[in-house]
């Protein structure tokens, strides 16, 4: 099978992107340290045309050369917002009508493969997912504010996966349900 050239992929311009209808899904990064993870999340958010990315606490913000290295310009297409305190971000999202879900391994969390978005009166829900720091995860007080906790089932020796990979899997799964 012949590989497509970049031109044949027919991607949109940043201006077209800004005007386009977005997937009602927002990613929140709660004190994510790695600039690589931030850039990579921007790139995935661009691919699935998310409504935005919220950067909280120590999470770095564009413009930043290290974010650009992995985002490759997706930081210019995807809307983003900064909050010093993740709690303020959750409050703001709630006011905007978002259901806020922590991606964490909690007592009684719902496995990602079992989670079904509830679509009422043909109205798509607005969903925000929170990913935490590489070592500490989502802060307990932030988890406590959430509407639920989603966990990716894992069967290996390590306690977690990389933050940007985790974000990618959850975004993909929700994107399929939202389209």
CB closer to a copy of itself, 35 vs 54? 35
CB closer to a copy of itself, 65 vs 120? 65
Measured CA to CA, the distance from residue 100 to residue 174 in angstroms comes to: 13
Q: Taking the complex as a whole, how short is the minimal distance between the CB of residue 101 and a copy of itself, in angstroms?
A: 11
CB closer to a copy of itself, 97 vs 156? 156
Q: How far is CA 149 from CA 74, 110, 132, 166, 175, in A?
A: 28, 6, 12, 14, 18
Kind and range of the H or E element at 111? strand 110-111
Residues contributing to the site for a copy of itself (CB under 8 A): 1-4, 6, 9, 11-14, 17, 36, 40, 43-49, 70, 72-74, 77-78, 102, 104-109, 113, 137-138, 140, 143-144, 146, 148-149, 152, 154-159, 161-162, 164-169, 172-173, 176
Q: Taking the complex as a whole, how short is the minimal distance between the CB of residue 121 and a copy of itself, in angstroms?
A: 25
CB 36 within 8 A of CB 67: no
Q: Taking the complex as a whole, how short is the minimal distance between the CB of residue 89 and a copy of itself, in angstroms?
A: 18
Read off the tokens for 113.
């493969």
CB closer to a copy of itself, 35 vs 93? 35
CB 3 within 8 A of CB 30: no
Q: Taking the complex as a whole, how short is the minimal distance between the CB of residue 46 and a copy of itself, in angstroms?
A: 4
Computed from CA positions of residues 77, 100, 83, 107, in that sequence, does the dihedral angle turn out positive or negative?
A: negative
């Amino acid at each position: 099978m012949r590989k497509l050239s970049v031109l044949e992929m027919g991607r949109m311009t940043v201006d077209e992107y800004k005007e386009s209808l977005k997937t009602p899904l927002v990613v929140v990064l709660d004190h994510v340290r790695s600039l690589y993870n931030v850039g990579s999340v921007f790139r995935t958010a661009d691919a699935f045309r998310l409504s935005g990315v919220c950067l909280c606490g120590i999470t770095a913000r564009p413009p930043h050369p290290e974010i650009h290295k992995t985002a490759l310009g997706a930081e210019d297409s995807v809307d983003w917002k900064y909050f010093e305190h993740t709690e303020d971000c959750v409050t703001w999202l709630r006011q905007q009508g978002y259901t806020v879900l922590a991606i964490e391994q909690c007592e009684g969390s719902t496995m990602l493969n079992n989670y079904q978005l509830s679509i009422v009166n043909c109205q798509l829900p607005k969903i925000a997912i929170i990913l935490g720091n590489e070592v500490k995860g989502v802060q307990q007080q932030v988890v406590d504010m959430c509407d639920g906790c989603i966990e990716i089932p894992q069967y290996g020796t390590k306690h977690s996966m990389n933050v940007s990979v985790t974000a990618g899997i959850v975004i993909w799964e929700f994107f399929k349900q939202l389209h």
